[in-house]
Structure 1
Amino acid sequence: MPLDIRFGTDGWRAHIARDYTFDNVEALTNALAAYLHKFQKEKAKNGVAIGYDTRFLSAEFARATAETLAQNGIPVFLADRDSPTPAIAWATRSKGLATGIMITASHNPPEWNGYKFFNPLGGPADRDMTNAVEAVIGRKFNHKLPVAPITVFDPRPALVAQLKTVIDFEVLKKAKGTAVYDAVHGTGRGYVDGILKECGWKVTSIHSDPDPMFGHISPDPADPECHKFLQETVLKKKADIGLANDPDADRFGIVDSKGLYLTPNQVLALAYHHLLEVRGLRGPVARSVATTGLLDAIAAAYDQQVIETPVGFKWLGSAIEEKGALLGGEESGGLSIIGHYGGKDGVLADLLLAEIWATHRKPLSDVYKGLSRKFGAFHSTRIDLHLSDDAKKKLMSRLKDHAPKQVAGSKVTDVITLDGVKLKLEDGSWLLLRPSGTEPLVRVYLEAGSAKRLKELQKSAETL
């Protein structure tokens, strides 16, 4: 019987017990093993790293995955505890493994779980790899290989050693700041907060107990419901910075000493400018089509290129690995930098923002205001248009074939169909309409030079 297992931009996710079952995880793992035997035969002998988050049954699903691979003759390195996605991705790369597998649904609600795997360099699997695996899910395989060993290991030391090559630990040690770290009941505990403590920082850790219900609040650091307590604790403790991760620690959340939340777009701008201005590096910036144009303005000021990609970090990872991008980032909270690996890393992002605070010793919102004065104001938001699948298709087809000549009183100067339909306007503002692959809605991303103009743009977008 064919199984409905399909990979999105960040792996396969499904409801636990409905579609996310031990049988389906085993079928998917058998298909992945067949792929590795066919396309990664030599590296498959080195093995596969497996990690898992704090969700319901994640540890058991990880153990079942490990046993299935071992039965297929592939050695396994199984994390000794719930671990961040970046730790498993880096283990894949540093150990020279064929792939790494992470049992996680990232920032989805508690009733979900997921399964994602990496390329040998630790970046997200590309479409060719996921398509090849999908194509053989449910088939019977008979490799007739001896059962391979399962080795339990600690992925933390290798990731920390790597982070010391891309984060200025001396600046962190000299600053000895104060921070609040929110693990959101996920895997990040002992990573961001532990590293900062080792650098002499005073750190207050919150939500650090593993909880598959995530404290009954949203596990997405970008959700105000999630970062509200972090903001309150930063103010209460008079901390220099607040840092957070989602449950598998590949995304970040940043709060400054005033208790102000910084959006991922603002964080990416701070990070890229820091690499250029403070570290003195040079190189392009890679951003998704949905991400802020402030990165473009910063790049232009330093005579650097912008690499615009579809949504999905695999594209940004390729830009870092293959095109030398200093930074790859997306508005949903993903970031990585040159010298690291081509996957988003929330641990790296948190430490990089701590480094930026340590460099300036003032609220990060004030540092960002300096960027706005220098490069211009950029206001962005996202709205969802709830439409049936048929209405989605008609809207996107109409926009591609007959894009409007103007939006909100401004002439459309360019139409980009890299991923969805992006309309760039004469006044510098833009909007992107991108249909969801899993939900009956179209996501609309908007950016303008003022809050007033953003509202005008939003009003027009709702009537397109």
Structure 2
Amino acid sequence: MIKIKFGTDGWRAIIADDFTVENVKRVAYATALWLKKEFENPSAVVGCDPRFAGPLFADVTTAVLASQGVKVFRAENTFVSTPMISLGTVRHKASAGIIITASHNPPSYNGYKIKASYGGPATPDDIEKVESTIPDTFEIQLKSVADYQKDGLVEFTNLEDMYVAHVENSFDLEAIRTCGMSWAYDAMYGAGQNVMRRLFPDITFLHCDHNPGFDGQAPEPIQRNLQEFEDLIKLSDGEIASGLVTDGDADRIGLYDADGKFVDSHHILLLLIHYMYKVKKQNGEVYSTFSCTSKIQKLCDAYGLNNTVTKIGFKYICDLIVNSGKPFLVGGEESGGIAAAGHIPERDGVWIGLIIWEFMAKTGRSLSDLVQEIYDVVGSFAVERYDLHVTEELKQSIISNCKNDKYTSFGDHKIARKEDLDGFKFFFEDGTWVMIRPSGTEPVLRVYSEAPDSAASFKVLDATKATLLG
């Protein structure tokens, strides 16, 4: 049997290779043992996203948990999003939530995510407890889900209805629907499609069919994967005010303005702070990961808000939301995972997109105008990134050089100071920066740069690449 390892956001593997019924049984059994040890009357919410064989793996998980006396709230919907599982976990007061998903990974993958009782990522400590008790084999005879339902150990729940009601109670949907702006949504064949059709039946939809293979493309909402959606918006000639995209399990966001320009997470985070604090008069802590724009700190300083910078990974933001004891406003990472006050401590692409649409609807301003409002406070900027594929030996050599201050400049850019919270961020005298961070799983260096515009940012990246690779 293979050794099953959880990554930063669950266990993921190729379907029918390592992601098999037998291996899912092993993981589910370890989850049941953890739940029984940690909770007096353990329970779990279980569902799947639209990936291939999701219902099969969700039923297997349900049966294994029920066989161990864990009460299961099984999503009756064909597929659900990760935020729906997290919300359902809170609403059912369940001990945990489990969703069968590989998120934004290629369609050949599936996966197994565990959510904690508070409706956000389980802690690394809890994941380690599950991982360490995964048995080599699973040989318990299972009954059908229907039989466990008769035993009172399985209860079906409509998580889609629950989520839609939560959205309706939290947003001015009428303003979004009747403001005169037209909207578009690309589900990337993922789990956000049914909810968005229910909330906004009259907007423009793309890739909102049930396609378990995602038409052969990884459902990750980054610009290079969204050319069809981008073209659709550009061809509307300004008719579509904004386009929203979510990934396979709908916890990550992509966003476009009326010109078909991609609006990245750095800008989305700033827009959220601006709307929630300046317009809605909400207050609270801001949390951003180490790879995010420095403009977040600048905007927080201007508004008198506290911004805490964390290591890269949404779990660090979730930990602060849940355990800091302070009111929360906005938190997120550059990869599209963002959370906001008034919801669960979880990434949610649909939810964050609706905040931006509500901002536009309530103010009557275009997305580009709202971005300009941010620039008026903090200045214009662009964050760009290269992934440098190098040998493991060269990767380690570069990291050693970063640690030991061997680099004093990159091209014409003289290093003024360095931060090393999670990788190495080198600041230049004009406030521009470049960040070097090794991948933990492959011979890749991720290199980010922030400068006043994209051309300047790429210029820094090119100079850094030339220095690093000699």
TM-score (norm 1): 0.92
Counterpart among 446, 449, 459 of residue 446 in structure 1: 449
Is 2:101–2:249's contact at 8 Å kept on the other side of the alignment? yes
Q: Does residue 70 of structure 1 match 2:66?
A: yes
Question: For residues 177-230 of structure 1, what are the alpha-carbon distances to aligned partners after superposition, in whole Å with 9 as ceiling and x for unaligned?
Answer: 421121111111121342234xxxx31222111112212344212133325325
CA distance in 1 between partners of 2:22 and 2:73 (Å): 22
Tell me, what secondary structure is at the counterpart of 1:27? Answer: helix
CA gap 1:25/1:141 in 2 versus in 1, 3 angstroms? closer
Counterpart among 393, 396, 401 of residue 398 in structure 1: 401
Amino acid at match of 1:370: E
Is 1:421–1:433's contact at 8 Å kept on the other side of the alignment? yes
Aligned-pair CA distance for 1:26: 1.0
Tell me, what secondary structure is at the counterpart of 1:326? Answer: strand
Q: Does residue 155 of structure 1 match 2:166?
A: no
Is 1:320–1:337's contact at 8 Å kept on the other side of the alignment? no
Is 2:241–2:367's contact at 8 Å kept on the other side of the alignment? no
Is 1:48–1:98's contact at 8 Å kept on the other side of the alignment? yes
Amino acid at match of 2:167: L
List aligned pairs for 1:158-169, cutoff 5 A.
158-169=162-173
* Root-mean-square deviation over aligned CA pairs: 2.4
Is 1:106–1:248's contact at 8 Å kept on the other side of the alignment? yes
Structure 1, 432-441 or 336-345: larger mean CA deviation:
432-441
List aligned pairs for 1:209-228, cutoff 5 A.
209-228=209-228
Is 2:387–2:446's contact at 8 Å kept on the other side of the alignment? yes
- Counterpart for residue 7 of structure 1: 6
Aligned-pair CA distance for 1:90: 0.4
List aligned pairs for 1:327-406, cutoff 5 A.
327-402=330-405, 404-406=407-409
- Counterpart for residue 118 of structure 2: 121
Tell me, what secondary structure is at the counterpart of 1:62? Answer: helix
Q: Does residue 54 of structure 1 match 2:50?
A: yes
Question: For residues 396-416 of structure 1, what are the alpha-carbon distances to aligned partners after superposition, in whole Å with 9 as ceiling and x for unaligned?
Answer: 233123352333434434322
CA distance in 2 between partners of 1:24 and 1:141 (Å): 8
Question: For residues 107-149 of structure 1, what are the alpha-carbon distances to aligned partners after superposition, in whole Å with 9 as ceiling and x for unaligned?
Answer: 1111111111111111111111111111111267999999762
Tell me, what secondary structure is at the counterpart of 1:121? Answer: coil
Structure 1, 71-80 or 362-371: larger mean CA deviation:
362-371
CA distance in 2 between partners of 1:456 and 1:208 (Å): 38
- What is the percent sequence identity of the aligned residues? 34
Is 1:14–1:112's contact at 8 Å kept on the other side of the alignment? yes
Q: Does residue 101 of structure 1 match 2:95?
A: no
CA distance in 2 between partners of 1:359 and 1:63 (Å): 43
Tell me, what secondary structure is at the counterpart of 1:41? Answer: coil
Structure 1, 238-247 or 104-113: larger mean CA deviation:
238-247
Is 1:231–1:260's contact at 8 Å kept on the other side of the alignment? no
CA gap 1:128/1:212 in 2 versus in 1, 3 angstroms? same
TM-score (norm 2): 0.91
Is 1:192–1:350's contact at 8 Å kept on the other side of the alignment? no
- Counterpart for residue 429 of structure 1: 432
Gaps of 5+ in 2: 143-147
Question: For residues 128-175 of structure 1, what are the alpha-carbon distances to aligned partners after superposition, in whole Å with 9 as ceiling and x for unaligned?
Answer: 111111111126799999976222221022223333454343533552
Counterpart among 187, 190, 202 of residue 191 in structure 2: 187
Aligned-pair CA distance for 1:14: 1.2
CA gap 1:457/1:25 in 2 versus in 1, 3 angstroms? same
CA distance in 2 between partners of 1:421 and 1:166 (Å): 39
